[in-house]
A and B are shown apart, each in its own frame.
Chain A
Amino acid sequence: MIHINDDPEELTLTPLSDKLFQTAADGLAYEFLGGDTGSATDVVEIHVSGGYQYARRK
């Protein structure tokens, strides 16, 4: 599940691979970077206009 910018709506992620997920009804895809042995370091939000990379803060 994800929340975006404190939006109370929860979006469900469907796994397309170990690292690539997509929201079931909202079209965006998320690719996690790192995380092979520990926590992921970044996530890339994939949109028609390109990929937006966000760093993990906690």
Chain B
Amino acid sequence: MFRCLPSGPATFSQTTGGPVYKRIVQTPALIVILNDDLTYRQIFMDGRSLEPNPFPGWMGYSVGRWEGDTLVVDSYGFNDKTWLNGRGLQHSEALRMTERYTRTDVGDLRIDVTFSDPDALRKPLSMAVNMTLAADTELLERVCEESSDRWLGTTADIDHAAVTVSPDVLKRYVGVYTGFWGANPRRVDVLLAGESW
């Protein structure tokens, strides 16, 4: 059961169409990122190394350094209960995340993110996230309490719960379905294995 638990390492990539707000609090030795889903991250800037074996947590353990004007953040120590993207991509506790924060101009921030996970990903997964300065608002709460009764589970749960459905029933579901995921158009093509449009 995936209830409204902390969003984990990829809070910026799990938007479902609405805006995601963050507040970045910067000091010389510590950067804190406050997320609007009521989670936070601490990025230690005091020159320490990553802990060799941190206790797996929801938001991981992060250290940062400056490479010119780019903030580079290395993180690991994540538990395996969160997703890497809004489509539910799972990861293991071996996940390591590297983020490169670059302020391209006064109002825009680009974050290049790479996920490495030898136990879950065949190759590193990279994405770029663009964020815009919200200068005229406060950080407001965004809580997903409406999803608390949704079953999502884990891969092992799926294997144990799988049932057999007759081909005649499966054929009734083949088709093209459209709608909106938040504000974003969504198209889902359903077809039987081995078939194509």
What is the interface of chain A, defined by CB distance below 8 A to chain B? 1-6, 12-18, 22-30, 32, 35, 38-40, 42-43, 45-58
Contact = CB atoms under 8 A, between A and B. Distances in A.
Nearest to A12: B193
Interface SS of chain A: helix, strand, loop or mixed? Answer: strand
B52 to A, nearest CB: 29
Contacts of B55: none
A12 B190 CA distance: 10
B53 interface: no
A2 B192 CA distance: 8
B152 A29 contact: yes
B163 interface: yes
Interface residues of B, number: 47
A14 B164 CA distance: 9
B178 to A, nearest CB: 5
A25 B173 contact: no
A26 B88 contact: yes
A52 B179 CA distance: 8
B40 interface: no
B175 A58 contact: yes
A35 B150 contact: no
B115 to A, nearest CB: 14
Contacts of A13: 190
Nearest to B3: A48
A17 B169 CA distance: 11
A18 B147 contact: no
A38 B175 CA distance: 12
